[in-house]
Chains A and B, each alone.
Chain A
Amino acid sequence: MLWLYLHFPHLLLDHIQRNQESMGALAILDSARQCIVQACPTAQNLGIETGMRLKTALALAPDLNTLQAEPKQEAWLLEDQARWLYHFAAHITLVPPDGLCAEVSSLQKLYGGLSAIWQTIEQALTERRLTAWIAVGHTPLAARLLAQTGKGECSADKAHLLTALGKLPLLSAGFDKKSCTRLQRLGLNSLGEVFTLPAPELARRLSPELLARVQKIEGTRSDPQAPWQPPHIFRQRADFIQEVEHTQGLFFSLQRILAELEEDLCWRQQDTDTLLLTLQHRHEEATRLRIRTTGPEHRAEAFLKLIRLKLDQQPLKAPVTALIFTVKQFTDREVPIGQDLLGETADLDEAWHTLISRLQARLGEQALRQFSLKEDYRPECAWFAKEVLKPGQKQEKAPASLPHRPIWLLKCPKPLTQIPVAWLSGPERISGGWWDGQRVHRDYYIAQLPGGELAWVFRNHQDGWFIHGWFG
């Protein structure tokens, strides 16, 4: 078995930097100890090193941007990386806080050799503007040690790997401190010297755990790794060091996130119709935006247009410190039904969804309505408004005998103030609603008013006269 290990030396830093176009020196801060954990190259040029106190760092570079490291966020980020790596490899293990381990021996045939895999992964890393140290090892632990020390090589030769491992200093082998000191007192300084010791003696004199670790590095003891399963959710986060005050500033990172979403959806062969966008503010409650398309969609461009519309409608209430983008609902992509040779219907379907989504994004979902019939005697209950749906192939068949009704119905009946000049039809008695408490007891007539309009008027049981509709 061969394992590939990716060690991300400054994941948080990469994450921040790829969401902002240009910025000054940046350092990640450990909030508990108030010291620098990671520093970007610009900051390093200014003399800032890891482990430095915050006060010292600020004295060196007064304009230093700092961000506090949160373990939860680091875990998210690592999972983000696992998600794209899953496109290339099936068996992945997360090694918190900053490593990913993938089994690659089964992939050699697919990619055509170990070097091809190596190149693919390196390319993916550059595309995502990430820094990672890669290493190949015959055991997960061996790969990890090589990656963490930056001594990774693209080689599958076990003897070669063991020599490389043997040259590693004891301190970087990850033994506990006590055993490390004891081994050093024995005069051992490299891992190779520990490998040569007899196993029973090592367990007896030091500890069985140490032996287990050594054997796991060597590959003489099995080290099973539980495979990671990608969650069925797409979640991305962008943190802004300098708060974003205009919506335009959000689009730089949104474009990247949407491109990744498109890639992810294409890879899953799925579509989505709901995007959740959370904008976090420093002092105010987060803004939650729900962007809906009318039909399944996967293209970043279409999503971006909708988000742009939504954000144009809703100005930012406060500067944004972070942006969280979530997609939870996925639908399997439908195979277009090849009804016509030229594919015109598919185009129209798409155009319909685009138009309705655009309108809904700007006007709100409540602004668009469709009507449907309901079986009821009362005129105001014989219809209902519903959400807009793409009409199917099958035409909704109207019931055969519908009564004569006006095309305009008033939202609520209006008192009749003029005396009609002609009575044309009626009465039609409508009495019902005793079953749900909204009782209606009316005689309907069609009458022509002095203005020439035809009205649908009724007299209720209290002898009041009302107009209920117009024959438009």
Chain B
Amino acid sequence: MSKLLSTLLQDARVWQGYQHRRATQPAESTGYQALDNQLGGLGWPKGALSECLLDTWGIGELHLVLPLMQRVSEEGKTIFWLNPPHTPYAPALAREGVNLGHLVMINTQDRNDFLWTLENCLRSPVTGLVFAWPGKLASRDVRRLQLAAEAGNNLCVLFRSRQHVEQNSPAALRLELVPGEHQELKINIIKRRGSWPGQRCSLALGHRANSIDHNSVRVVQGPWPKTRR
């Protein structure tokens, strides 16, 4: 029995809690101190896939990656947007300090093209960051993309539906994004490499709504009830 146990322990596939050390994998800061703290002080893992799982658009998912986008475009690397669900609005991005010259939007027709394009972008040295909105992805495909990201040492963020939370995925970091009551974004870490999952944090993204602006004072009630007959 003890022999069986010791062979099992020697197996590299068994992760042992006491061996936990501070991960030294390369990473990019998220730009949000609260989230960085939860991610072991590191941030988005480089050379790996990150997944954001969310139900609807418009809950602050792009503001989460905005500091990263600003930094990458400043470095002069290209940011690819693959099959975004809506049009990324250029004036808003320019206002946030993202250099539009480094953004490239790609729309693909079918799944094979999508995977091929994503893989090519990830393997290229010119890529700084890839955002992708895949529809359905097989676990095998995610692994393929993970390998491509490792080969190119690039950062890739996949935005997927929250129904994939229960599924297992080879991505290095998985975040569940839920909107809060007061325009904040609640982040639940489902998986991260080299540490326990389950941390939660909440980012205040109220500035998205321009609510600090004095304009908001004037419309507390809103015109909605008045126009209804």
A residues in contact (CB < 8 Å) with B: 347-348, 351-352, 354-356, 358-359, 362-363, 367-373, 379, 382-383, 385, 388-389, 391-392, 395-396, 398-399, 402-411, 419-420, 423-428, 443, 445-449, 451-455, 459, 463, 469-472
Contact = CB atoms under 8 A, between A and B. Distances in A.
B90 interface: yes
Contacts of B197: none
Interface residues of B, number: 63
Interface string B30-43: 00000000000000
Interface in B146-196: 178-181, 183
Of residues B87, B102, B124, which shows the largest number of chain A Cβ atoms within 10 Å of its Cβ? B87
Given A451-B179, A453-B179, A424 B103 contact: no
A459 B227 contact: yes
Nearest to B214: A425
B126 A407 contact: no
A423 B210 contact: no
Interface in B81-111: 85-97, 99-109
B11 interface: no
Contacts of A403: 91, 95
A373 B210 CA distance: 22
B57 to A, nearest CB: 5
13 contacts: A347-B125, A367-B108, A368-B106, A369-B107, A370-B101, A372-B90, A373-B94, A402-B92, A408-B58, A408-B62, A408-B88, A420-B222, A454-B58
Interface in B51-101: 55-63, 76, 78, 85-97, 99-101
4 closest A-B pairs by CB: A452-B179, A470-B58, A423-B222, A453-B58
B120 A407 contact: no
Contacts, number: 197
B86 A411 contact: yes
A406 B103 contact: no
A454 B183 contact: yes
B158 to A, nearest CB: 15
A289 to B, nearest CB: 19
Given A391-B76, A453-B56, A470-B57, A359 B222 contact: no
Contacts of A392: 101
A348 B125 contact: yes
B58 A362 contact: no
- Main secondary structure on chain A at its contact with chain B? mixed
A371 B78 CA distance: 13
Contacts of A472: 57-63
Nearest to B88: A407
A369 B105 contact: yes
A163 to B, nearest CB: 68
Given A410-B87, A453-B57, 5 more contacts: A398-B100, A427-B223, A448-B183, A471-B58, A472-B60
A37 to B, nearest CB: 50
A6 B126 CA distance: 50
B211 interface: yes
Of residues B57, B63, B116, which shows the largest number of chain A Cβ atoms within 10 Å of its Cβ? B57
B78 A352 contact: yes
Contacts of B100: 370-373, 396, 398
Given A355-B121, A355-B124, A423-B219, A370 B58 contact: no
Nearest to B126: A352
Given A359-B117, A423-B219, A423-B224, A391 B90 contact: no
A459 B209 CA distance: 18
A368 B105 CA distance: 6
A407 B219 contact: no
A406 B57 CA distance: 11
A113 B23 CA distance: 72
B108 A454 contact: no
B99 A391 contact: yes
A392 B102 CA distance: 10
B10 interface: no
Interface in B111-141: 113, 116-117, 120-121, 124-127
Contacts of B99: 391, 395-396
A369 B104 contact: yes
Nearest to A472: B62
A419 B180 CA distance: 18
Contacts of B121: 355, 359
Nearest to B207: A404
Contacts of A388: 104
A359 B89 contact: no
A404 B95 contact: yes
